Structure 1
Amino acid sequence: MADSITKSIFEGRVRVRVCGILWEENAILMLKHKGIGPNGHLWSPPGGGIEFGESAEDALKKEFLEETGLTISVGQFLFVNEYQDNRHHAIELFFEVTRLAGEIKLGADPELPKNKQILEELRWLSFDEIKNMDSGFLHNAFGLTQEPNQITELRGFFKFANISIK
């Protein structure tokens, strides 16, 4: 069960998030989040919430630096993904990004205390690794394509709802 800190930040409200797709040498930079998803962890592209008064581009640059140690440029807007389950509701704006500088290192989420971090691992996942991964461990946006590299070809609005009526 989620503790009260993560619950108050991430649950029971609509969050607007930005996510960056960084492809290099046939691999995408992904973060493993513990305690999220049906199987106890979830791999997804770096990103995070947009704060009041912050542009989507500035939020994505900030989140990438915090989570990966990289300075990026934000490229083309790709698509919107709406995710909804019984605890979470997120509107996610996906962009292509390019690395400008920095050394890749697992960062932290400044919204959470050091002993409550959910970022567990940062690494490059190849097309084959993503394609062969159980969908329960992977951000639902990758289920919209036949091949993982097609993620940058998606355009439009997509909705993934996993809601049980009680």
Structure 2
Amino acid sequence: MTAVIPRAAVSVVVRWSEPFANSVQSRSNARYLLVQRGKEPNKGMWSLPGGKIELGEKTLDAAKRELMEETGLTTSVSTIIKQDRCILRWHTDGPFACSDSIHHSQTSGVSFHYVISQCFAEVTSSSPPNIIASDDAMDARWWSVDEMKDAENEGTVIEGVGSVVERSEKLYTSGLLECEG
């Protein structure tokens, strides 16, 4: 049996809300980007965009790469989408949280173990940009926190995603996840 060792991975909480909304409106109108996994582990489940960190790759660089590969969103200064300026800004002080994703197999014990660093980015535009899933994402779309919680309870969103998003929302609305871009 091959030994399974923990792998470093990254996920990205990408937030969009209506521009110029006050903090209460911003919180209630906020949408978060989730992708539907196209490969194991968690094939078919919805989760935050992300994946493995390559050897020698910085965490934030891995987050930007994975987001671009799975959704097409890039860190370019701005993109014009239907006459709307869309800007992707990143929290550059490093990950805001860390979690484990451990998967067990009936025959061999632990089959996957990822230590996931959660990074944060926000999209500034008048409406959420259209996302086209690619790479190992089967689909991608914007979710409200309530939609995400309901889907997590139904078993279609990976357990723990909602709590990561809620943590990011609290930090963001408290001014602790400032973004640059």
- Asked if these proteins are the same fold (TM beyond 0.5), I'd say yes
Unpaired stretches in structure 2, ≥5 consecutive residues:
18-29, 76-88, 105-110, 172-181
Residue from 123, 131, 135 that aligns with 1:108: 135
CA shift for structure 1 position 106: 0.9
* Equivalent residue in structure 2 for 1:89, among 113, 132, 140: 113
Q: Deviation per CA, 1:34-54, whole angstroms, max 9, x where unpaired?
A: 46577x621111111111111
| TM-aligned CA deviation for residue 92 of structure 1 | 0.2
| Percent of residue pairs identical | 26
Bigger mean CA deviation after superposition, 16-25 or 95-104: 95-104
Alignment-derived partner of residue 163 in structure 1: none
Query: Could you say which residue in structure 1 is the equivalent of 2:161?
Result: 142
Confirm or deny that 1:62 pairs with 2:65: yes
More strand per residue: 1 or 2?
1
| Cα drift, residue 21 of structure 1 | 0.5
Residues 66, 132 of structure 1: CA spacing in aligned structure 2 closer, same or farther, 3 A cutoff? Answer: same
Q: Which moved more, 1:100-109 or 1:78-87?
A: 100-109
Deviations 1:106-148 (A, max 9, x none): 1114xxxxxxxxx211000112211211443223323547xx5
Q: Normalized against structure 1, the TM-score is what?
A: 0.66
AA of the residue aligned to 1:137: T
**TM superposition score normalised by structure 2:** 0.62
Aligned length in residues: 133
Does residue 43 (structure 1) correspond to residue 62 (structure 2)? The answer is: no
Uncovered stretches (5+) of structure 1, i.e. residues with no partner: 1-7, 110-118, 155-166
RMSD, matched Cα = 3.0
For the residues of structure 1 that align with 2:162 and 2:167, how far apart are their CA atoms?
Answer: 11
Looking at CA atoms only, which structure, 1 or 2, has the larger radius of gyration? 2
Task: Return closer, same or farther for 1:37/1:132 CA change in 2, 3 Å cut-off.
Answer: farther
